[in-house]
Structure 1
Amino acid sequence: MVEKDQDLTKYVGERIRKYRLRRKLSQRDMGKLLGIPYQRYQKYEVGEIRLPAEMLLKIGQVLDVSLDTLMYDENFPDEAIKYVRKVRKLRERQFNAAKLIHMIIFFGTMCRLNKTKLNKLLFYADFLHYKEHGKPISNVPYVKLPHGPAPESYNAILGILEGTGHIEITEVVLNKGKGVIEEQITAVRPFDQKLFDEKELEILRKVALHLGGKTGAELSELAHNEPFWEEHGLGKPIDYELAKKLKVEL
């Protein structure tokens, strides 16, 4: 059993190395994007330590590659089957990373964005879809922050997308005298509408049309006026069931 585990660990490391090199990322880049010391990432890649299922999911998101593509080839070892099943079960409980990525790309293509504005557009797209159709688009968890709702760990998500060339984040001086700087987000890769069904696309278009012209401050005020807003403490998750109480209608 020990030998089989070692074979699997080495196999997984070789696969992620292959796709890391295709993305022209260094091991230091991977450590930074994953939020871990690059020395630990090195150990994953050379097969010195076994890669946790949760970390494999993150690596797939960073490398923009599906689990099947990342793991399967003609030399796929039998022992890897149980490991892949474990990762798939974990993935089923998580948000749809591909949809979230392309929601960000969609709004980055359709609207002038900063982080505050993007977070609110994502929130309203997911929650309005839940209100109308009983499920969110991305299923990403949202939390209450001072400027309104935002996807959990949104800074890490945006950092990964910038590092993998999905978006660009640039600093723009709005008021040089007062030192006001805004981080603007622009889509780099094209939007893949095949990931979404017609109901999801309709919500995305409506949110962009009716809310995309507002500023981040205006959208924050809109979110703060939602009836459930005062019920939540800072940093607390916002249950999707509360979408039924949304005031905003498109």
Structure 2
Amino acid sequence: MDEHDRIVTESLLRDDLDVQPDEAKFAELLLLVAEELADDPYGGATKANKVLYFAEFAHVRETGLPITGVRYRKLERGPAPRHLRAIRDHLIDNGDAVLIKERVLGYEQHRLRPTRPARRELFSATELKAVQDAVNLLRGHTNADASERSHREPGWQLVNDGEDIPYVAALLPQHQPQPSPRMMDRLRQIGEEYARRERPAP
């Protein structure tokens, strides 16, 4: 992190939104996201974390407030909510959800499966839309793709590993998405295939 980024980050942290985390509402948000990802083959914990993050921060951009106010920290694979495991385990212990372990693309994926519907009445229309938009944004993408996309978020780039991402970072200009290296390789392949087809026969 260079000096400019350090100054910006410290300013953001000092001036972050004054919101109290609502962990009970977050538990319902966790169930809601799990419901929405039920038919996504990559809808395990890694992607759920990214959906939660994108939904909360998009809602800040839209309304000035997060959905639950739970803090997200920077981890290697992207933003993740603090206290997630404790809240998830509480849902499981109460019988509100079960944790399913499955193999996807050679990796073990942990998927939360609700045993009851999320209490959608706790959420406003704008909150539900933010969740649905985040789910749609990442639907069908692998966990690696979802993580890579989250790494392009200004908030994730501004803080160090393990630190909280300030909610006001949602108000920073969003960079245009850059093609991933894999996408660039595929674009080059398509270009080469097209060039071969267009070459005149000898």
3-state DSSP class of the match of 1:149? strand
CA RMSD of aligned residues (A): 2.2
Change (3 A) 1:230 1:201: closer
Q: Distance in 2 between matches of 1:212 and 1:161?
A: 24
Percent identity over the alignment?
Answer: 30
Q: Distance in 1 between matches of 2:165 and 2:174?
A: 15
Partner residue, 1:206: 133
Matched, 1:218 2:148: no
3-state DSSP class of the match of 2:154? coil
Matched, 1:104 2:34: no
- TM-score, normalisation: structure 2: 0.69
Note if contact 1:121-1:212 (Cα within 8 Å) is conserved in structure 2: no
Q: Distance in 1 between matches of 2:161 and 2:21?
A: 22
Partner residue, 1:135: 65
In the alignment of these two chains, the number of paired residues is 155
Partner residue, 1:171: 101
Matched, 1:233 2:160: yes
3-state DSSP class of the match of 2:140? coil
Range that drifts further, 232-241 or 103-112 = 103-112
Matched, 1:183 2:113: no
3-state DSSP class of the match of 2:55? helix
Moved over 6 A (4+): none
Note if contact 1:226-1:246 (Cα within 8 Å) is conserved in structure 2: no
Shift of 1:215: 2.3
- Residues 182-214 of structure 1, C-alpha deviation per residue, up to 9 Å, x if partnerless? 212212211221101111112122222222332
Counterpart residue type for residue 164 of structure 2: P
Shift of 1:116: 0.9
Q: Distance in 2 between matches of 1:248 and 1:210?
A: 16
Q: Which has the higher contact order (CA 8 A, sep 6+)?
A: 2
Shift of 1:246: 6.1
Counterpart residue type for residue 142 of structure 1: Y
The answer for unaligned runs of 5 or more in structure 2 is 1-17, 177-202
Change (3 A) 1:248 1:197: farther
Partner residue, 1:156: 86
* Pairing 1:1-250 to 2, within 5 Å after superposition: 94-111=20-37, 112=40, 113-174=43-104, 180-245=107-172, 247=174
